Structure 1
Amino acid sequence: MDWYRLLRSAGTRRLSVDQRALVALRVAVGLLLLTDLLLCTRSLVFFYTDGGSLPRSALFARFPITANLSVHALFGGAWWVGLLFVAAAVAATALALGRWTKIAAACSLVLLVSLHARNPIALNGGDSLLRRTLLWSLFLPLGTGLTFETRAQCRHPAAVGLLVQPIVLYVVNAVIKLRGDVWLSGEAVKYVFRIDALTRFVGEYLAAYPTLLDALGTAWVMLLCCSPLLVLTTGRARATVVAVFASAHVGMALTLGIGLFPLIGVAALIPYLPPTAWDKVEGSWNRSVKTARRVGGERRAAFEDLWEKVCRQIGRLGRGRSLGAAPPMKPMEPLRQRIGTAGSGGRTGSTSSLVSVDRGRIATRIRRIGRAVAATMVVVVLIWNTASLGYVEVPQPEAVEVSPQETRWDMFAPSPPTRDVWYVAVGTLEDGERVEVIRGGEPTWARSERRWSSYPSARWRKYLEVVRWSDDDWLQRHFASGLCARWDATHRSRLSRVTVYVLSRSVQSSTEPNASEGPSVRRTRVRTHECSS
């Protein structure tokens, strides 16, 4: 019995989440949702409307099951997608502020899944991690408002899922990396930083230090292998492990253009922070929130006083013109009390007690169902990711559009890309002028001085990777058609024809990280599309 209690206590300490961490996670997820929406608006028409690269007819033909999950696919116009973006922004704001938390979380999840289902081709690992983090959070007490109100520990299967999910990501990625030779030799990170389309900010300077990159690559693989320490440790040791992983993600954000994945990774680490860390944070967090609330309350109070004076003045003018004084208005009784008194003839006690009992039973059943669903989901996540590594075989119906191998966490694994790739789309206007359709200006085969601007965004890079790797004529045709529509929607001149080229160079051909010109550049024509067709 002592051993059982000891093991149970040890498991509870490692697999429970501080409710203050859930509040911080809610705020972080809400802000990330808003940021993601803001970034997606730059390519709203191209990725999510009938006038872009994946019209609804093509979506339902290619992804018939996934398309049915998308509310965004009900209509194909930009007005509908824009309206849903506004609704998602409202829900994300409410989630971050802690207003109608459960409703805001549910609406945010539905709209996020719908957005991802509208164009599955343009998704990356960060999208999947954000979606799953929001799903686990839906089962948990996320609190209200912005202050820390309780120090209780949340012991729920969904809390276990929230802790298991990032570790599964790290472990799966580590196993796939270790199956290759490039990461073990330390050469992999040098390949990554020689790809101009990936490097950002500090990464452009870091690429000039290959020895340092070797060390960083080896350290990252070792850190991935040590990721189970996130739950095996407690107290200061766990806080240290979390800080190391968070520092690695911040380093990614400062060096690589991989979208919001590093920031989402930092947010996913919040539930691991132990109660001792939140004890130190709680005071300054609550003081900051209360200060902001006091300033906002003073402004709101001043506005309410002004409004009350205006209303009072209007009332005086109205009474002065009336024939007689109206009797003073009594405050309205609560609607629930009036209805209950009228319906029960004064016998409100028994009715309210019955209602509370029924509500209590319903709430208890809902909590039990939620725990069972969350526990089942944890098992499914473990089995699915084990199957993605080939250790377990799962039945794969033909009607299902995804498989474990297609959804596994194989970021730059087992080896990173060995070619730096960018696109040039040469368009011919109706008057015969030639333009570069993707970035604007005159067509040129030379890389821009801002080499990281090879793609309009990280989502474009991911989308075009799928278009290139799949070698699918269907995807290429819709991509070229979407370029025509994108140009015509933003320019007075219209395109008559667009020819898409893929340019690439081997990153092994030069030791200089930014050497992209010369005979090593390969140019391939993908297709020519008549825009009027």
Structure 2
Amino acid sequence: MALLRAAVAAVVLLDLGIRSTDLEAFYSNMGVLPLSVLYEHLWNPYVFSLHTSSGLWQVEAVLFLLAAVAAVALLLGYKTRVATFISWLLLVSLQNRNPLILQGGDDLLRMLLFWGFFLPWGRVYSLDARKRPAPAQLSYFSAATVAYIVQICLVYWCTALLKSSPEWSRDGTALYYALSLDQVLLPGGRLIYPYPELLRFLTLATYRLELLLPFVLFIPVAVPWWRMLFVFVMYGFHLGISLTLFVGLFFLINMASVLGLLPASAMDWLEKHIVPRAQQLGPRVATRLAPLQPRLATWRQAVQVRIHTSWAVSEGLRRWLRTLREGLVAGLLVYICWWNLDSIVTPQWMMKAPLRWIGFLTRVDQHWGMFAPSVFKDDGWYILDGTTKDGRHVDLNRHGAALTYAKPASVVSLFKNDRWRKYSENYLFVDNSYMRPYYCNYLLRIWHENPANPPLQQLDVIYMKEVSQPDYKVPPPKPELLCGCAP
């Protein structure tokens, strides 16, 4: 659990770092989703967001900094429970600010922090642990550990059950269609794309892996062996995804999520090979801290006295709070399982609307429909056709190069990061047509802020649509004008 805590904190920091490069674009009123548009088209009255307190990117930067401080504290295990809560609070707030750039990995990261609040993942390998005696035993069982394991299983079970198209379970063509999407295709995917039989095998193997492998976590015999198998296979599975498909932090979040399943033997190996090296730094640190030792000893003695005098009084309260916590976690786990079932089973099992506010408020709502029920077939790339005042056409998506309708060698390279790729995917849907003028005008403003760029009199957002076909057929792309704007 300590490794899980550190990995989750590291991913949160990485996520904040990537998002911080688009503070104005995604989180301010000067970007693609002003607060007025968010409230009009996307807002749920049951959610909350501290990031909607202002439309200024400077305010967003302060909130990002606070989130980074909390994530560092979580990484080090300092005030772990408080750091976990603040990290979860600010992550939920950030995700609610712009739902147009979210993907399945964001749901999982949010849930790892949520369940982590109820786990003792700061009990060892943390700054908090230095102030407490070592635990009598390192094994731990509670409603929260059950919820954590079930949550991991739900990710893969629901992903498989939602893949109801024959291309996943019968035809084995899903991976072929996924790798036909140039907007997510990476070099590793290009290597295996020409081999249809290999793609069919990998498709069927993926479907069965997601559906069946989580069951090994409930086998009551040889538990360490089965858990190591699960972690090993999941790491190979997500490493393969990261080499073939452009999925942002999705693979890292999933790889971090299973670290809490590692058995004691794995931790023994890590302690044997890693901890001794870290301990070599101990004498240097001790020398520098030597002048502070008397003061620290006095403070430690005072703390121990306070702990011993208050222990007898608080023990009964602790038991009562522990029972209350176990009941709360069990109830939330049942609710989350029900929520996931709602997306799979027939309508008569559907969760009634009045009960959904709990999921939206706590953001335990989740949906694991990755490439489900079938793979998206509408592929293509964007052309940002800018018309200069002297009549020339330049493509803003290629840094002002002369306009061409030729397909780029790498469509993925047109996206700054996976957040922009997800935004461009949502930009296509007719239901999201309200997004289009804001994106167009944002691009115009950014372009004209650089005095080296020639002034534009018109900007057209064009999508070169290329629908994926079976048997490696490639239809000619059809340009679709999505939006036009002028200064």
Q: Does 1:265 align with 2:254?
A: yes
Show the counterpart of 1:121: 100
How many angstroms apart in 2 are the aligned matches of 1:365 and 1:439?
62
Q: Does 1:88 align with 2:49?
A: no
Structure 2 counterpart SS, 1:25: helix
1:437/1:510 CA distance change after superposition, 3 Å: farther
Counterpart selection for 1:437 from 396, 400, 412: 396
Please say which structure displays the higher CA radius of gyration.
Answer: 1
1:490/1:290 CA distance change after superposition, 3 Å: farther
Q: Does 1:54 align with 2:33?
A: yes
How many angstroms apart in 1 are the aligned matches of 2:447 and 2:356?
37
Q: Does 1:282 align with 2:242?
A: no
Q: Does 1:203 align with 2:194?
A: no
Question: Could you tell me how far 1:450 is from its partner in structure 2?
Answer: 2.6
1:228/1:426 CA distance change after superposition, 3 Å: same
Question: Could you tell me how far 1:91 is from its partner in structure 2?
Answer: 1.4
Deviates more, 1:239-248 or 1:468-477: 468-477
Question: Could you tell me how far 1:272 is from its partner in structure 2?
Answer: 2.3
Q: CA RMSD in A?
A: 3.3
Show the counterpart of 1:499: 460
1:426/1:399 CA distance change after superposition, 3 Å: farther
Q: Does 1:246 align with 2:235?
A: yes
Counterpart selection for 2:198 from 212, 219, 222: 212
Gapped regions of structure 2 (runs ≥ 5) = none
Question: Could you tell me how far 1:286 is from its partner in structure 2?
Answer: 2.4
1:67/1:46 CA distance change after superposition, 3 Å: farther
How many angstroms apart in 2 are the aligned matches of 1:366 and 1:495?
64
Counterpart selection for 2:323 from 345, 352, 368: 368
Show the counterpart of 1:420: 379
Q: Does 1:163 align with 2:149?
A: yes
Show the counterpart of 2:432: 472
Question: Could you tell me how far 1:337 is from its partner in structure 2?
Answer: 10
Where does 1:162-181 land on structure 2 (aligned, <5 Å)?
162-181=148-167
Deviates more, 1:59-68 or 1:149-158: 59-68
1:399/1:374 CA distance change after superposition, 3 Å: closer
Show the counterpart of 2:485: 529
Counterpart selection for 1:483 from 437, 443, 446: 443
Show the counterpart of 2:57: 78
How many angstroms apart in 1 are the aligned matches of 2:25 and 2:317?
45
Show the counterpart of 2:77: 98
Question: Could you tell me how far 1:379 is from its partner in structure 2?
Answer: 0.4
How many angstroms apart in 1 are the aligned matches of 2:55 and 2:256?
33
1:334/1:209 CA distance change after superposition, 3 Å: same
Where does 1:27-42 land on structure 2 (aligned, <5 Å)?
27-42=6-21
Identity fraction in percent: 28
How many angstroms apart in 1 are the aligned matches of 2:450 and 2:439?
17
Question: Could you tell me how far 1:397 is from its partner in structure 2?
Answer: 4.5
Cα shift readout 1:489-513 (whole Å, capped 9, x = no counterpart): 556656553211111212217727x
Matched pairs, number:
467
Amino acid at match of 1:193: L
Alignment TM-score, normalising by the size of structure 2 = 0.86
1:195/1:64 CA distance change after superposition, 3 Å: closer
Cα shift readout 1:368-423 (whole Å, capped 9, x = no counterpart): 3322221111101110000111342111249969799x942111112112232221
How many angstroms apart in 2 are the aligned matches of 1:284 and 1:352?
35
How many angstroms apart in 2 are the aligned matches of 1:264 and 1:337?
41
Contact 1:189 1:213 in 2 (8 A): yes
Structure 2 counterpart SS, 1:227: helix
1:74/1:356 CA distance change after superposition, 3 Å: same
Show the counterpart of 1:318: none
Amino acid at match of 1:501: I
Contact 1:67 1:117 in 2 (8 A): no
Contact 2:214 2:230 in 1 (8 A): no
How many angstroms apart in 1 are the aligned matches of 2:46 and 2:396?
29
Where does 1:294-313 land on structure 2 (aligned, <5 Å)?
294=282, 298=284, 301=287
How many angstroms apart in 2 are the aligned matches of 1:331 and 1:200?
57
How many angstroms apart in 2 are the aligned matches of 1:337 and 1:241?
45
Structure 2 counterpart SS, 1:197: coil
Amino acid at match of 2:179: F
Question: Could you tell me how far 1:158 is from its partner in structure 2?
Answer: 1.4
Question: Could you tell me how far 1:352 is from its partner in structure 2?
Answer: 8.4
1:68/1:135 CA distance change after superposition, 3 Å: closer
Gapped regions of structure 1 (runs ≥ 5) = 1-21, 309-329, 341-348
Question: Could you tell me how far 1:362 is from its partner in structure 2?
Answer: 4.3
